[in-house]
Structure 1
Amino acid sequence: MTDSAPLHLLVVDDDDRIRGLLQKFLIRHNYLVSVATDAARARRLLGGLDFDLIVMDVMMPGEDGVSLTRALRDQGVMIPILLLTARGEAESRIDGLEAGADDYLVKPFEPRELLLRINAILRRIPQPLKPAAITARNLTLGPLRYDVDRAELWLGDQPIRLTTTEIALMRIFAARAGEVVGREKLVAELGGDEAQASERAVDVQITRLRRKIEPDPKQPRYLQTIRGEGYRLAPD
């Protein structure tokens, strides 16, 4: 996508008023916006159009936002997903992160906060490197290879898909390989707020990342927990 082309967002919400308001607001901020009333319509749009990010309500009739998120990730769809949740749905928020969402926003919210969250997620997406800038800096994690400059994880010649948040975490840990990174530091660098909820969210993301890089995620070798301090990436 060129710099002049607007980023294309998909808004999925069964509430006509909210869906319309979000569409108008995001268009005013130079996004191209498509909308869907439910998961089925969202699937049809995703099958025919390319999107840069999905904004999706959790509570929808039929297939809910968490289920659709999980299904998309299982299919290998790595489009960033921002879930909208009601204030009392703490477990739904955690479920959404475990399913593969990149962030969540609690209703009611200020539209400007939505814009900030969207921009923060999109900034995490690694930019393609020019050929002259590509180097061979790699970290070895058993049979896996992490290309630091490209922010890519490989098993032999097979890429391991990472979400934007997992990419952001690997960038943070790779830059401090062998060092302990505190949970508060991770929250700050990932752009989170509401410390306790965000630290729990970081723990969820760490658990998901371990499933991709650890031989035994329950006994992590490479992404270690340092009790009372934080986490440490310990490559070979």
Structure 2
Amino acid sequence: MTEDDTELQPHILVVDDDTRLRELLSKYLSGNGFLVSGARDAAAARAMLASLDFDLLVLDIMMPGETGLELTESLRHESDVPILLLTARGEPDDRIAGLEAGADDYLAKPFQPRELLLRINSILRRQAVRPAEPAAGTATAVRLGPVKLGRYLYLPDRDELRAGEETVRLTTAESGLLRILAASPGVTFSREELTERCRIAGNARAIDVQVTRLRRKIEADPREPRYLHTVRGEGYVLRPDT
């Protein structure tokens, strides 16, 4: 493999205090086309993040010291790097907690390495998805220009949310949700349709979680949204400034 080939490989950081599992995952992912680094805990992961760029993080939740959930919440204040959480706890409330913390996906142990690989590839594909086509059966044209949301401006061509000169960090799921809604302003999307089109893991409740997170970033008062509305019994709609 040439140096140029290595540079093209997505770089994944696996963070798990279980040395055997960490090494097994690193070997498996390396054999499937990824450049992989490993860290035994959150402190070691932070040290690596300070000096290296990663395309995706695979974090174990139950680690000594700072947990994977706490690390995810902290990173979301400074980075939009995709995060997939691993945990021995697979209850729905645990999955929701992971999504609320800012994770892009959640995989319960034990799992098949093949499933982890599929989920990683799905997240990385979502990162590369461009603005979506309008919803089937709607007459509303795709909105290609900037979308004004009060003090915020969403630029579809860059998939970027800005507040003046500042770029607002969005997770993969938040970015996908805003991209779909902004492409067809005024069109109501059901939770099921958003789940499918945004490729967000989980059930319809997962969309509610992402809507809540997105509102915190674009609304002056998330409890009384001006732009991202709930249509009772139907779903969600974005109504930007005209």
Normalised TM-score (structure 1): 0.89
- Within a 5 Å distance, the mapping from 1:46-57 to structure 2 comes to 46-57=49-60
* Cα distance in structure 2, aligned partners of 1:230 and 1:2: 44
User: Aligned partners of 2:144, 2:178: CA distance in 1, in Å?
Assistant: 16
- Contact 1:126–1:151, Cα closer than 8 Å, also in 2: no
1:100 aligns with 2:108: no
Amino acid in structure 2 at the alignment position of 1:199: A
The one-letter code of the counterpart of 1:148 is P
* Counterpart for residue 74 of structure 2: 71
Q: 2:149 aligns with which of 127, 130, 141?
A: 141
Letter in 2 for 1:111: P
CA distance, structure 2, for counterparts of residue 122 and residue 228 of structure 1: 32
Q: Does structure 2 retain, via aligned residues, the 8 Å contact 1:66–1:92?
A: no
Provide the aligned C-alpha RMSD in A: 2.1
1:99-122 C-alpha deviation (Å, 9 max, x unpaired): 211111122222122112111111
Alpha-carbon distance, 1:56 to partner: 0.5
- Which of residues 227, 239, 242 is equivalent to 1:222? 227
Query: Counterparts in 2 of 1:1-236, with a 5 A limit?
Result: 5-74=8-77, 76-126=78-128, 137-192=145-200, 197-236=202-241
Post-superposition offset of 1:93: 2.4
Q: Which amino acid aligns with 1:26?
A: L
Runs of 4+ in 1 over 4 A off after TM superposition: 1-4
How far 1:198 moved relative to its partner?
Answer: 2.3
Q: How many residues align?
A: 226
Letter in 2 for 1:8: H
Q: What SS class does the counterpart of residue 84 from structure 1 fall into?
A: strand
State percent identity of aligned pairs: 57
Q: Could you tell me which amino acid in structure 1 is paired with residue 60 of structure 2?
A: D
TM-score, scaled relative to structure 2: 0.87
- 1:144–1:192: structure 2 CA closer, same or farther, 3 Å change rule? closer
Question: What letter corresponds to residue 226 of structure 1 in structure 2?
Answer: V
CA distance in 2, matches of 1:42, 1:90: 27
